[in-house]
Structure 1
Amino acid sequence: MWLPDVLHVAFVPTGLCLCTVDPVRRKVREYNEIALGQSAAVAGESSWQPWVDALAAWLCERPRQRFNVSVVLPDGLVRYQVLPWRSGISISAEWQAYAAYRFREVYGERAATWRFQVALTPPGETALATAIDAKLLEALRGVVSKPSKLVSVQPRFVAGYNHWRQKLKGKSCWFATHEHGRVCLGFIQQGRWQVVRNESCAELSSQGMAELLHRLDLTLDESARSAPVFCTGEFADEAPQSSLAGHSLHSLRLPVDGHPGRHQMAMARGL
């Protein structure tokens, strides 16, 4: 049976990165970057429409092609919470209801229009929950219609952590993603999420990252105050292997070895 190409799509502050990949040979067939006039990630959570419209136009130009589509969203369109373990909750629907309750506690009626996803964990452990505008998910499903299929929608922070989690396995460390106008930072203690912060920032500097770490350090135990920081994105490129007020900074990057296809695939996967 003929397999559809994989289409990786990353919504980035400046536009879209799109990469089609042969599902068998795992080689890049086509790579495109589409520039948008305004950064929706900076403008606000309701301004995702230009990205969706650009993706729709790209797909309309290829009406006979079939894709399995995976989309990575910028963290500016996402809300995060670390859910404490709660006995009696076991199945996915119960976790969804628990997440909805916790988000409503923090954000009020705004959370009524969001959709929630919880990364299920073993009994007794915390769980990372995300909230995304339900209309955005509906719009993506409408745009990616037959013969193509929408197979995955992930926030950038989650996509990055899922890719690098084996490298971080068993560590007590900070994990961060950074793109223009936004930093998302979380502390993991031996595989368990303790806290996640998703904040806007005009321009992240070493001092700004150190101040954010210091604020979060005060809410956690001693192990967080000297734990290493593993970072993807723009900040990792600018300040690799440096120190942040007692925290060592380590850049996480895919080894592209000058290979343009690998770099293009990493861009479209939000890595």
Structure 2
Amino acid sequence: MLPLWRDQLRIGVSPHAIVLARIGKGLRPYVREQHIEPCPPASGETWQAALDTLAKLLSREKWQNADAIMTLSNHFVRYLLIPWNTEINGEQEQNAYVKHRFSKVFGPAANNWILHHSQTAIGMPRLASGINQTLLEGIRQACVTNKLRLRSVQPYLMPAFNQYRRIFQNESAWFVLVEHDKLTIAQLGRQSWQLISTHLISNENLAAELPVLLERHLCLSGIKNQPSQVFLLAPEHPQLVLPRNNDWVIQQLQPVPRFGLPIQTYALVMGEH
């Protein structure tokens, strides 16, 4: 198979399931294979059962010899906004500053995480993420062992947000991303991320919990002139009905379909890397 025409293997990794979609390359990409494999309950690290399930799946020939694009559930990611610091000079100092902030917030556990941070406009906070180093090494090893070229690994927040980035170019608003038992909530200004946090939620009580979490952020942020516009992406909850609330204008985003895959079950692998 010519490298130019290698298939793309879209992989979604969550505590509940591994989502795979093999996309044939060419002028009209199409789905060669698709599969969802449930993960057994975690008995140790929250990610270990998912990693073991992934390695077992990738050992099957039909998933090998492709370019891997991987999305990690927000269950496996810690986010932090890094304040702008005028005393930072250069990338090395910035990396050390990010590491210091993570250690201060998350404690010794952060010493075992691989940290990444976004570029930003001068004076604005940076969005940073931390992922367990052993998990990432296990993912890379599973790819190498099974003849996969790992082209990208990103937290679910980023490819999901990238589909709707244009919405936030000219206004301040909230972005809420919902997956199974997990909610990520962020506030974005016209130039940067302003707030971010993740929460365990009850799938059954999502409609009632969301306004409460928004109010909590409003109280804790201390930021004046908070936006009332909320953009909600909840592809696993197509029948979600939110209660009427005069304090918030909640618009449910329609997931962008890709490759002809069913949106509700394959949303984790549809984002823009």
TM tier, smaller: 0.7 to 0.9
Cα pair distance change 1:109/1:64, threshold 3 Å: closer
Query: SS of the counterpart of 1:124?
Result: coil
Q: Look up the equivalent residue of 2:14 and give its one-letter code.
A: V
Q: Which moved more, 1:171-180 or 1:241-250?
A: 241-250
Which residue of structure 2 aligns with residue 197 of structure 1? 197
> Normalising by the residue count of structure 1, what TM-score does the alignment of the two structures yield?
0.86
**Per-residue displacement from partner, 1:28-59 (whole Å, max 9, x unpaired)?**
22111111232x5xx88x22122222222222
Deviations 1:137-195 (A, max 9, x none): 11101101063111211111222112221232222000011122211101011131111
Specify the alignment match of 2:139 in structure 1: 140
User: What count of residue pairs does the alignment treat as equivalent?
Assistant: 265
> Matched residue of 1:144: which SS?
helix
Identity score, percent: 25
Cα deviation, residue 131, structure 1: 0.7
1:19 equivalent in structure 2:
21
Residue 184 of structure 2 aligns to a residue whose secondary structure is strand
Moved more, 202-211 or 235-244: 235-244
The residue number in structure 2 matching 1:215 is 216
SS of 2:194's partner is strand
Does the C-alpha gap of structure 1 residues 243 and 126 become closer, same or farther in structure 2, counting only changes over 3 Å?
farther
Aligned position for 1:110: 109
> Structure 1 residues 221, 88: closer, same or farther in 2, change over 3 A?
closer
Which SS does the other structure have where 2:88 is aligned? coil
Q: Which amino acid aligns with 2:247?
A: G
Instruction: Give secondary structure in 2 for the equivalent of 1:37.
Output: coil
**Normalization by structure 2: what TM-score?**
0.86
Pairwise CA distance, 1:223: 2.8
Q: Which runs of 5+ in 2 are unaligned?
A: none
Please list the CA deviations of residues 58-115 of structure 1 after superposition, one character each: whole Å capped at 9, or x if unmatched: 2211179411112111111111111111124364443322211101111221111111
Please state how far the C-alpha of 1:10 moved relative to its aligned partner.
1.0
Distance 1:104 1:247 in 2: 34
Superposed counterparts of 1:216-231, under 5 Å: 216-218=217-219, 219-224=221-226, 226-231=227-232
| CA–CA distance in structure 1, aligned partners of residues 91 and 154 of structure 2 | 17
In structure 2, how many angstroms separate the alpha carbons of the residues matched to 1:64 and 1:129? 31
1:166 is matched with: 166
Structure 2 partner of 1:57: 56
Aligned to 2:178: 178
Indicate if the aligned counterparts of 2:15 and 2:49 stay in contact, CA closer than 8 A.
Answer: no
Distance 1:142 1:175 in 2: 34
SS at match of 2:164: helix
What amino acid maps onto 1:223 in structure 2?
N
State the secondary structure of the residue aligned to 2:163.
Answer: helix
Structure 1 runs not aligned, ≥5 long: none
